[in-house]
Amino acid sequence: MTGFDWTNASVLVTGGTGSFGQKFVDVMLNKYHPRRLAVLSRDELKQSEMRERFPSPLGGPMRYFLGDVRDYDRLRRAFQGVDVVIHAAAMKQVPAAEADPFEAVQTNIMGSKNVIDAAIDVGVQRVVALSTDKAVGPANLYGATKLVAEKLFTQGNTYSGPGGPLFACTRYGNVIGSRGSVIPVFLRQRETGTLTVTDERMTRFWLSLEQSVQLVISTVEQMLGGEVIVPKIPSMRLMDLVEAIAPGCVIEVTGIRPGEKIHEILISSDEASRTLEFEDHYLIQPSFRTWGVNPWAGGKAVADGFQYDSGSNLQSLSREELAQSVEGI
């Protein structure tokens, strides 16, 4: 830890009933013991189910707030007395965003703006937003909305000014077992003996829920404001995943879907000039720094034209490691 005292912190996670939020709450309660830990989400059923797993007795740290990031007034009220906000709420299903683009914009872009405004207005100390590899050179509306959200958060520091909240982002790839992941789909299809694959050449970045939570926690502890933190994580070939999960099954190739890529990119060559490499992560510095943050220390500049993509990534998971990773999902 870098001097940030979680035990005295009041922490709130938007979209806290999702896969990330549930794991984040679990890790926070068992390892970091914050003074107060609040979940804000719009689904009362998921909150009711989450209360059974993480009760909120009088005097305990847990709080549950019903609300939507589209509602600035609700966020402002919920953020009262909060030190750290983790912004995980998003509309992230690619087909849904394509079918209802206005809804994706309202949640992913305007919702992010509301989080920033409310954090500044009530004096939150640190805010970290979760982003995705699909925000890099976006090929679908979901990725485009997350790109805009990234820009809002990195430059949110300009609006907060000296002494105001710090804003930063984490950017990572597919999460093992998260809602919407291909793994549960493959596990269901395995029972039929036939798996559907869009393209046999496809590769993806890969990390666990635990890794995503630890990345966000370390970002909160070390952030200076305006950075995008990208973890060094392995890639996988989709066909290796298929063989690890369902060896011997029939493969039906359906063709790449609109907005889908063969390989995902976590850092584009256009961002190389602003990227620093550290032992276990990369840090993308903001395009504009008008809030007086000191340079990030300890990193090494990457080479001109550097690109971090799942197709050329040298770090990969074996089929055996993949099989172990999906056990219990």
| Domain 6-173+206-232+265-308 superfamily per CATH | NAD(P)-binding Rossmann-like Domain (3.40.50.720)
Pairing of strands 194-197, 250-253: parallel
Tens-digit pLDDT profile for residues 98-123: 999 999 999 999 999 999 999 999 99
Average of pLDDT values for 175-195?
83
Q: How far apart are CA 104 and CA 83, in angstroms?
A: 28
**Which contiguous run of DSSP H or E holds residue 239?**
helix 238-245
Dihedral class, residue 15 (left if φ above 0, else alpha if ψ from -120 to 50, else beta): left
Q: How far apart are CA 136 and CA 95, in angstroms?
A: 18
The alpha carbon dihedral of 152, 128, 282, 199 has a sign of negative
The overall average pLDDT reported for the chain is 93
Give the catalytic positions in this structure: 134
- Would you state the pLDDT for residue 1? 41
On whether the CB atoms of residues 185 and 242 are closer than 8 A, the answer is no
Half-sphere exposure of 139 (CA within 13 A, CB side): 12
| pLDDT confidence bin for 162, thresholds 50/70/90 | confident
- Would you state the pLDDT for residue 68? 98
- Would you state the pLDDT for residue 181? 72
Say how many C-beta atoms besides its own lie within 10 A of residue 198's C-beta.
Answer: 15
Average of pLDDT values for 206-228?
95
Q: How far apart are CA 95 and CA 41, in angstroms?
A: 22
DSSP string, 207-238: E-HHHHHHHHHHHHHH--SS-EEEE---EEEH
Q: What residue ranges do the domains of the chain occupy?
A: 6-173+206-232+265-308
Tens-digit pLDDT profile for residues 253-295: 999 888 889 999 999 999 999 999 999 999 999 988 887 767 8
Average of pLDDT values for 194-220?
94
The CA distances from residue 167 to 128, 134, 310, in Å, are: 6, 20, 27
